[in-house]
């Protein structure tokens, strides 16, 4: 497995991101488990893309879209959101995407801390963050709080 190419997300990615976000496993892992409506997704994406405090990448390996990684930044901290294309799960891309995304964020911004919040039952996500050097720091709002320092 090679290093992933991380390119900025664009409005052209709306359909793909919509399909990934509405995947049953993604919805099950999300804080809000209700299906996302197209109109609200497009509005949400445009808001994120125009927000300087949001950094969102699409990960590609050999021109195949693997997943997305997003950082919502505030001062020197960022909260991470990541998910893989359904057909790319179980191939080791999760930790690679988290590692590469964090490296890129630390290199290109003033962010010094990345926080991740994971449901307790989401073992695959927790494992991917721990493999990417995140440390478990406690619980927050009934979610496992993991953190990575620059």
Q: What is the pLDDT of residues 65-114, one digit of tens each?
A: 999 999 999 999 999 999 999 999 889 899 999 999 999 999 999 999 99
Q: How far apart are CA 29 and CA 64, in angstroms?
A: 24
> What global pTM score does this model have?
0.92
Domain ranges of the chain: 5-149
Q: How far apart are CA 72 and CA 79, in angstroms?
A: 5
Q: How far apart are CA 15 and CA 7, in angstroms?
A: 17
CA atoms within 13 A on the CB side of 51: 15
Alpha-helix runs per DSSP H in the chain:
14-21, 24-29, 38-49, 93-108, 123-131
CATH number of this structure's domain 5-149, picked from the four choices 3.20.20.70, 3.40.1160.10, 3.90.226.10, 3.40.630.30:
3.40.630.30
Confidence of residue 134 (pLDDT cuts 50, 70, 90): very high
Confidence of residue 23 (pLDDT cuts 50, 70, 90): confident
């Amino acid at each position: 497995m090679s290093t992933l190419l991380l390119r900025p997300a664009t409005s052209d990615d709306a359909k793909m991101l919509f399909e990934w976000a509405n995947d049953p496993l993604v919805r099950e892992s999300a804080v809000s488990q209700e299906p996302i409506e197209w109109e609200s997704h497009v509005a949400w994406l445009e808001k994120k893309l125009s927000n300087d405090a949001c950094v969102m990448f699409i990960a590609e390996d050999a021109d195949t879209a693997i997943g997305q990684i997003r950082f919502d930044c505030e001062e020197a901290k960022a909260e991470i959101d990541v998910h893989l294309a359904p057909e790319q799960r179980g191939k080791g891309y999760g930790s690679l995407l988290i590692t590469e995304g964090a490296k890129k964020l630390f290199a290109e911004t003033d962010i010094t801390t990345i926080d991740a919040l994971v449901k307790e039952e989401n073992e695959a996500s927790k494992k991917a963050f721990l493999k990417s050097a995140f440390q478990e720091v406690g619980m927050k709002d009934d979610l496992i709080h993991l953190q990575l320092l620059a």
